[in-house]
Structure 1
Amino acid sequence: MSRLQANLLLTFVALIWGSAFVAQNKGMADVGPLLFTGVRFLVGSAVVLPLAVLEWRRLSRQGRPLKRLDGWHIAGLGLLMTLGAVMQQVGIQYTSVTNAGFLTAVYVPLVPVLGWLLLRQVAHWSVWPAAAGCLVGAFLLSGAHQLSIGLGDLWVLGSAVPWAVHVLMVGRWADRMGAPFLVASGQFAVCGLLSLAAAGIMEPLRWTGIAAAAWPIAYTGVLSVGVAFTAQVVAQRYAHAADAAIILSSETLFAAGFGYLLLGERLNTAGLIGCGLMLACILLVQLLPLLGSLTRRRILANPS
């Protein structure tokens, strides 16, 4: 696979994730957020399971079976995914698809910030103004120009924290295990089971509701969870990391586009400014370090 093909595949992933916000919104008409999350992530786990089984057999043949600590790491990733997915799903009940898509993207600049706080990884200077700009953009987008912010906006903003920690840790642990599909299927299963257990306590469990939401569950489970996450793993083997981050952040634009086309959602002037500011910050936090690296290479190549 060429770098161009990998970038096109990542664009397809962002398209699926952006459109999934509409399906998640529609699914809430028939089932609660915990039940919806639980079922769709179990569906996603089943989609990736055949690849996970093949990977398990390969590791066994190579004498590199997963250890107990690896299982705990997968469970931890599943817990983070549960927190992020459930908080996001709850928020989608009370905010627009457009807002949810853009507010979720706060995790992009949040990842290097948490990397510095939790792992002492030194962040590029551009992270700090970009993070501040994303917060300002989020307030404009969610109605803070009217000195108010919706409950749904707060839930979706909160979901960015576990999503960011998840993004920070999943690469480290999956690379250490050498088993991306086992990690993917395992964390989806943990997320699904935890969400269903919580749904059994906090929500009514009705088969009629699941049947009524079958299409949104199938779309988000098979495509958003199973296919898209797996395609991301495959594509990022061949795509430059900066390319991948920038392309995947475009899910926010696709969410706004699908919200416009399918749900008739419209943004006012302040919302458009907020979207533009957030998108600019998301792109700059990825592009500025890359430009600095290219500049240093040119200086080293041409010292005179």
Structure 2
Amino acid sequence: MKKYIGILGLLTVAVIWGTGFVATAVALDNYTPFQILAIRFTVAFLILLGMNITKIKTISKKSFKRGSLLGVFLFLAFAFQTVGLQFTTPSKNAFLTAVNVIIVPFLGFLIFKKKVPIKGVVGSFVTLIGIALLSLTSSLGGINLGDMLTLVCAVFFALQIFVTDFFVDEEETWVLMLLQMGSAAALSWLTIFITGEGLPSIKMETVFPVLYLGIASTLIAYFLQTASQKYTTSSQAAVILSTEAFFGMLGSVLLLGEKVSINMLIGSIFIFIGILIVELDIPQFAKKQG
């Protein structure tokens, strides 16, 4: 039962994150990428701080380091994703972010020397074909800056999912969440200061998308992710969360009127086939490895 609760929680996160791509695209009309990050992480941090202010003294140095590390990965992932969204479409941004599902198993090999199964290699190759179809235009030079930045963000999202899987069994959810959001917020404000962007102007008519990102896509979604990963593995979490790509494309089509090309549809299908090859227990692959 707990496994299914975890799956349902992660699927809910995917839906929220998918709609978050649309909210981010709208927010970029009034704020810079790092202003958006600063507001969303600060909103989440302050709410969490208010809810747990009496328990702050119970946080250990070990927990502080773990939560802060997650915050660094989270900040870098969103930084590359949000900046990338300035140069590509919400649906492509969403699908390319989903490539983290392929990266997670390979992190196990690099860190723990776990053998990557044949289906992992095949699945990665199929996914790369999908990425090419999504990113390339009629010429080989068609990969744009936004696509490349989004692929980098996928690596950091994979690290965030992978490392969260290590810490959730030993740390309380609120501790990891508070420290993660706090360090991500601090890095966002530091970046604004270094780049000289200036403080964001908070107006009622422009702040709603950013508040949605802070409360729904950050506070609620990452709380659900952290809690749900107690009942799933990092690879399972990655494949479920990757469905945010579908919800991202659906949201951009329904809410922003974005047109979906044949290449994008075929590329998306290849990516999902690659994901299924990596995650599902396919008898043919099992026999070859047996």
**Alignment partners' CA distance in 2, 1:113 and 1:181:** 29
Confirm or deny: 8 A CA contact 1:30 1:212 kept in the other structure.
Answer: no
In the TM superposition, residue 122 of structure 1 has moved relative to its aligned partner by: 2.7
In the TM superposition, residue 120 of structure 1 has moved relative to its aligned partner by: 1.9
Confirm or deny: 8 A CA contact 1:35 1:203 kept in the other structure.
Answer: no
1:81-92 equivalent positions in 2, closer than 5 A: 81-92=74-85
1:174 aligns with 168
1:8 aligns with 8
Confirm or deny: 8 A CA contact 2:84 2:150 kept in the other structure.
Answer: yes
In the TM superposition, residue 237 of structure 1 has moved relative to its aligned partner by: 4.0
1:1-304 equivalent positions in 2, closer than 5 A: 3-49=3-49, 52=52, 60=58, 66=60, 68-147=61-140, 148-176=142-170, 178-208=171-201, 213-238=206-231, 244-288=237-281
TM-score, normalised with respect to structure 1: 0.84
Q: CA RMSD in A?
A: 2.7
Distance 1:165 1:9, change over 3 A: closer
Distance 1:75 1:242, change over 3 A: closer
TM-score, normalised with respect to structure 2: 0.88
Deviations 1:107-152 (A, max 9, x none): 1110111221133233332211212222221111122553211111
Return 5+ residue gaps in structure 2 as ranges.
none
In the TM superposition, residue 263 of structure 1 has moved relative to its aligned partner by: 1.1
In the TM superposition, residue 37 of structure 1 has moved relative to its aligned partner by: 0.6
In the TM superposition, residue 231 of structure 1 has moved relative to its aligned partner by: 1.6
Deviations 1:216-266 (A, max 9, x none): 111011001100111223334456777644432211100010011011112
**Alignment partners' CA distance in 1, 2:235 and 2:72:** 27
In the TM superposition, residue 23 of structure 1 has moved relative to its aligned partner by: 0.5
Deviations 1:68-93 (A, max 9, x none): 24322322221111111101000011
Confirm or deny: 8 A CA contact 2:119 2:285 kept in the other structure.
Answer: no
Give the partner amino acid of 1:73. Answer: R
210-219 vs 29-38, greater mean Cα deviation:
210-219
Confirm or deny: 8 A CA contact 1:81 1:191 kept in the other structure.
Answer: yes
**Alignment partners' CA distance in 1, 2:182 and 2:87:** 27
Return 5+ residue gaps in structure 1 as ranges.
296-304
**Alignment partners' CA distance in 2, 1:96 and 1:6:** 31
**Alignment partners' CA distance in 2, 1:54 and 1:285:** 44
Give the total of aligned pairs.
Answer: 287
Deviations 1:129-188 (A, max 9, x none): 212222221111122553211111111111111221222212213333x22221111011
34-43 vs 101-110, greater mean Cα deviation:
34-43
